[in-house]
Copies of this chain bind each other. A is one copy, B any other.
Amino acid sequence: MVKISDVALAANVSAATVSRALNNSARVDPVLAARVHAAAQQLGYRPNAVARNLRRQGTQVWALIITDINNPFYTAVARGVEDVAQELGFSVLLCNTDEDQTKQDRYLEVAAQERVAGVILAPRADDSDVSSVQSGNIPLVIVDRRLAQPVDFVTAASFEGAVMATEHLLRQGWQRPACITRPADTATTEQRRLGYEDVVRRHGLPSIVRHVPFHTDSGVDVINKLFGSADPPDSLLTVDAMLALGVMTSLKRQGLKIGRDVGMISFDDADWATVVEPPLSVIAQPAYEIGAEAARLLARRIKKEGPEDPQTMIMSTTLIVRGSCQRPKARKTR
């Protein structure tokens, strides 16, 4: 592979001049610069970023570590991060942990060893270990799920969103809403559960909560049981789009029609939410903006701008009413 000294030889200048010309830094004689560029072009010279990073003691690369590449929320976050990063001259490397702590740890370790310029992480759990990047003084921004320790953090208003959702179900006349959520060590979905519980408690209603692990049937079993029980709920709040999918599958199998037999609302406005029947009501998160804001915050940290103490940004959520949470007027109470 052609290196800088080859170009130098061909252009009949020193390696230093080649470097200066190619990085159009400092003043270089235009004639020499032209010769250098021509030689580089002809030899197909491609700077070795590994060597450059070593010498410069830094990279132009960010790691974005997310837990589920299939989740439309995270892919939208990724877009937001990427667009801002591009503008600022960084490349984004996307790492998918599949909700697996081991994979997450490994990616964090790789990021630290590769000396990336910064890391944006959607952690698996609120006690995730991020010491590998922190001890390397690599700027770190957490998105979506809050860590127990204080650190830069961008997320959506989960509690308030769940309150909106649950209150909307009740306003529609549903009387036994249940909350289908994720394991209790997932900070964000816990906020959603709490929001739900806050509302049902205030209304004197029972709290019906089910926790569904990641990587299972996405709640099919849980819903089967729940609606096979003596006193089933009459409506559902699901805390993410994958759960909504599982729940809809299960209800369909049981012959329960959403928007008639059961009310339903979910977090995350997936692209399929409008084509299911009836269209799914959702609490939309500003996912793209969460990514973009996280990226801007990270960029500031890298440039050592702004206040030093950990920042927290909480972006507001939006209720989008579609057909799935409607309740027929003439329906008698269960």
Contacts and interface: CB of A to CB of B under 8 A. Distances in A.
Contacts of A46: 109, 112-113, 132, 135-136
B59 A50 contact: yes
Interface stretch (A8-16, A87-95, A141-149, A202-210): A87-95
A271 interface: yes
Interface in A104-162: 106-107, 109-110, 112-115, 132, 135-137
Contacts of A277: 276-277
A50 B115 CA distance: 7
Given A1-B136, A69-B75, A95-B93, A114 B275 contact: no
A248 interface: yes
Residue in A92, A94, A98, A249 with the greatest tally of chain B CB atoms within 10 Å: A94
A24 interface: no
Contacts of A82: 96
Residue in A106, A113, A242 with the greatest tally of chain B CB atoms within 10 Å: A113
Contacts of A79: 69, 96, 98
A95 B62 CA distance: 12
A276 B249 CA distance: 10
Interface string A289-316: 0000000000000000000000000000
A307 to B, nearest CB: 25
A278 to B, nearest CB: 9
Contact of A276 (B54, B109, B272): B272
A48 interface: yes
A181 B70 CA distance: 24
